[in-house]
């Protein structure tokens, strides 16, 4: 049975660089591991009333079950105003509730941030890590993955171009798998 690692792209935009990077990761899964995109596009904004009044949206149930079944998670996030996108924070909130029933607890994770600029989503990377600490999600420390000039990563078909940056991403995936196996 394969270990299943969820890949969550923290963007809603159809042609987002994060979604393209996430899709590019799928073919990098080593033998015995399956990477699976976990969509966050349909999650309503978290509202505790849903849980308190037993009126939980079907999208929450589907998402929580998907996260619960994973062996780990790779977050691929853009940077919005030096932080994480609201849609990604919402997904973290949905999975962390109701209180005491977080589906994130103990799942080993990696953060791959990206930006068209030179900083590579540094602010988003570290803000996401701050959230993950509270949720008891151990995060791979090295290598740090800041993907700069993300708009230059793709060919006309939207696939990751061959070259140094794709090789770096593949090495980071390998490092994550090794680290996650030790920290599962």
Q: Supply 147's token pair.
A: 């993907």
The pLDDT value given to residue 183: 85
d(CA 45, CA 85): 13
The closest of 158, 138, 136, 135 to 89, measured between CA atoms, is: 135
The set of residues, in sequence order, having a beta carbon less than 8 Å from that of 31 and lying 6+ positions away, is none
CA geometry: angle at 40 spanning 147 and 167, to 5°?
Answer: 25
**Assigned architecture for domain 3-183:** 3-Layer(aba) Sandwich (3.40)
The encoded tokens of residue 9 equal 């792209």
pLDDT in tens, the chain (184 residues): 689 999 999 999 999 999 999 999 999 999 999 999 999 999 999 999 999 999 999 999 999 999 999 999 999 999 999 999 999 999 999 999 999 999 999 999 999 999 999 999 999 999 999 999 999 999 999 999 999 999 999 999 999 999 999 999 999 999 999 999 998 7
Residue ranges of the domains in the chain?
3-183
Nearest CA to 38 out of 51, 19, 54, 15 is that of: 19
Which CA distances in Å does 143 have to 3, 20, 90, 97, 111?
22, 21, 26, 30, 10
Q: Name 9's bridge partners.
A: 76
pLDDT on residue 184 = 76
């Amino acid at each position: 049975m394969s270990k299943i690692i969820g890949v969550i792209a923290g963007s809603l935009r159809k042609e987002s660089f994060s979604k393209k990077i996430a899709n590019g990761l799928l073919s990098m899964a080593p033998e015995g591991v399956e990477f699976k995109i976990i969509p966050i596009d349909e999650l309503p904004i978290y509202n505790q009333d849903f849980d308190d009044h037993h009126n939980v949206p079907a999208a929450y149930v589907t998402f929580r079950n998907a996260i619960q079944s994973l062996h780990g998670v790779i977050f691929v996030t853009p940077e919005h105003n030096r932080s994480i996108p609201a849609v990604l924070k919402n997904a973290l909130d949905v999975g962390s509730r109701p209180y005491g029933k977080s589906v994130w607890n103990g799942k080993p994770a990696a953060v791959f941030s990206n930006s068209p600029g030179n900083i590579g989503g540094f602010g988003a990377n570290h803000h996401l890590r701050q959230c993950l600490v509270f949720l008891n999600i151990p995060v791979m420390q090295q290598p740090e993955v800041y993907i700069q000039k993300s708009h230059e990563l793709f060919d006309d078909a939207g696939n990751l171009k061959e070259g140094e940056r794709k090789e770096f991403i593949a090495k980071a995936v390998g490092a994550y798998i090794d680290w996650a196996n030790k920290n599962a």
